[in-house]
A and B are shown apart, each in its own frame.
Chain A
């Protein structure tokens, strides 16, 4: 029987140090720490943790290998079901997935599955795949590009990368079409460096390329080629175009200068490297008093980026309470530590400009929680006569993103939900034969790991489809 030990938390950089730059905040485990934490796992016969993981990482198996110090084998074990562990270990909402289900969580703290996964992936990268040039092909059963069928993958976010990787590994001729000039989707343009170093994303993309997938950036599908045109050249298409359409509240003053969508803001900073201006020519204007509207990861990221860009006061405006915030607990904690102020139960209703037309005040209303709504969460209702004005010079609207409408718009036969999501079967098949979709384009803004799960399932379905058609073709 394993003795009861406290969960080992990763060491983090001090607040004073980390808010001055964009480098990663948590430092990860040392090998000794990893082994100690791994030994807390009791290797359940019927591991509940695995049920909480959307891609069913073989958690007890890999943790046991960590406990034995066999880190390279642990990495292989994880990669049997998860191609991007360095990313998932960092950004998965583990507390709602694998770790939520861990049996140790019933009486104490769950095993730090995510941190261990991150450790293993980092260890592998540093010791085995230090350079992209010597990425080893996994000893897969097929030689890359050994099959003649061609598959087009639209989007290079986690859904597209996973689908492309799996299909390339099976030997199909895969081409990824990405509309932006860089790959990675939200992993590159959304999630900031201090949470997910871009080097890691680049390596994962290199890995997928090393499996034989071709990547074509600057290719907006729908405009440059329609899905129907792709189908003439490719036997199957996977759409992983994400949820990149920023939502606005539609309140007066939202189009004033100084009001950003979180996407625009993060895009400028992460993708266009606005923090290097003018060596990088895309500017970003960040004022002294920043208000961020919303309570998800996107809001936390925007707030913490603002601090790092030199804002003096950063306030989160959220209409419910901290309990309802969709952001990861860990990120909320770090935002608070770094000095982000939370104005909860607060709803902006209008923005007022100064004489130059720049946003100067956010007019807000206080809220209280009323009766539960359809989602089961208590609906925020306005407190009468509670209006107040908050002085601001930058507002970042981070209230969510909808599925990218372009491909559905240009592909009328593609059936979508009212809210814009592409309708798919559990395997990821859309209303069009040969066309699959997954990730945020089908789910609405969700998670990295669910997008990867979708990419995986679709790859399997596409493989099945093409095997069948191979047979019919040979008849």
Chain B
């Protein structure tokens, strides 16, 4: 169970794994995620289901190495098993024919939008996908997304690919061009989602964001994932992770995301030490 069948590095800090999980592949819908514990004693970390193959009973996950547990996950090789895999979690994306939908992915969020782009297109939407990363090397999933979108627009902070600038700049231009946009979906770092919401709020375009608060059980039992939406406390793991972006308290989300920064560093160093010595032994 939960064997890693395929692993591939998309760039220096982002990897894609395909994991055996027939029951998850069967039930998963766009917008849902899993919780992985790569090895016993690691954390429970939430990662979006970036694709499923129901016939082969596998799910694809794309993750960025940012700390201890993603580091451990990245150290697992093809053929090894993750200790625990739970999913699908969260409420699926609302997919229907809206008309024209702009789907925006930033950073590792690019991979997270793939299932939604595919599903939105399949029900007849015109899907304009905008993806952005710091530079060309960090751009992922471009080919896959181009194949599924009506139109794909690319931005990089340094202009090494596509337009120089942010995804939000591209969104601004798209709206300014007079194109009628019926829905915006934005997935990526909190500042990106916040800026996109600020833009669409002015133009009264409904905007869905996928929030990424810290999570623990991810089944609705601990409350660490609580976010304030329209003045009400919601649990992102069950009620979300998608919410109406215009109603989200982003400042609170940012503050809560940072609450473990100092200890996370300690965990990361600890894991690097452990993996470092092991890695050398193997080499």
A255 touches B233 (CB 8 A): yes
CB pair B86 A283 closer than 8 Å: no
A246, B223: Cα distance in complex, Å = 7
Complex interface bits, B63-84 against A, C-beta within 8 A gives 1, otherwise 0: 0000011001000000000011
B15 CB-CB contact with A under 8 Å = no
Assess whether A282 is in contact with B255, with CB atoms less than 8 Å apart.
Answer: no
Q: A217-B84, A264-B224, A281-B267 are in contact. Are A179 and B44 (CB under 8 A)?
A: no
Say if the beta carbon of A278 comes within 8 Å of chain B: yes
Whether a CB of chain B sits under 8 angstroms from the CB of A131 is no
The answer to whether A281 and B41 have CB atoms under 8 Å apart is yes
Q: How far is the CB of A387 from chain B (nearest CB, A)?
A: 24
* B43 adjacent to chain A (CB < 8 Å): yes
Q: Are A281 and B221 in contact (CB under 8 A)?
A: no
A244 touches B (CB below 8 Å): yes
Which of A28-36, A67-75, A218-226 contacts the other chain? Answer: A218-226
A223 with B223: CB separation less than 8 A: no
A345 to B210: give the CA distance in the assembly, Å: 42
Which of A224, A245, A268, A273 neighbours the largest number of chain B CB atoms within 10 Å of its CB?
A224
Closest residue on chain A to residue B83 by CB atoms:
A181
A: number of interface residues (CB 8 Å): 43
Q: Which residues of A contact B27 (CB under 8 A)?
A: 223-225
Whether a CB of chain A sits under 8 angstroms from the CB of B19 is: no
CB closest residue in chain B, given A401: B221
Q: A225-B23, A278-B267 are in contact. Are A244 and B233 (CB under 8 A)?
A: no
Closest CB of chain B to A407's CB: distance in Å? 11
Chain B residues 19 to 56 lying within 8 A of chain A, measured CB to CB, are 23-24, 27, 32, 37, 41-44
The verdict on B174 contacting chain A, using a C-beta distance below 8 Å, is no
- Interface size (B, Cβ < 8 Å)? 43
Q: Interface digits, A266-298 against B, CB 8 Å rule (1 contact, 0 not)?
A: 011000110011111111010000000000000
Contacting pair A223 B221 (CB below 8 A)? no
User: Once the chains are docked, how many angstroms separate the CA of A273 from the CA of B223?
Assistant: 18
A404 interface residue (CB < 8 Å to B)? yes
Chain B residues in the interface with A (C-beta under 8 A): 23-24, 27, 32, 37, 41-44, 68-69, 72, 83-89, 216-217, 219-224, 226, 228, 233, 238, 252, 255-256, 258-260, 263-264, 266-267, 270-271
15 contacts between A and B (CB under 8 A): A180-B219, A217-B84, A219-B23, A223-B32, A224-B87, A225-B23, A248-B233, A257-B259, A260-B224, A263-B221, A278-B266, A281-B43, A281-B72, A281-B270, A283-B267
Which A residues are closer than 8 A to B by beta carbons? 179-181, 217-220, 223-225, 244-246, 248, 250, 254-258, 260-261, 263-264, 267-268, 272-273, 276-283, 285, 357-358, 404-406, 409
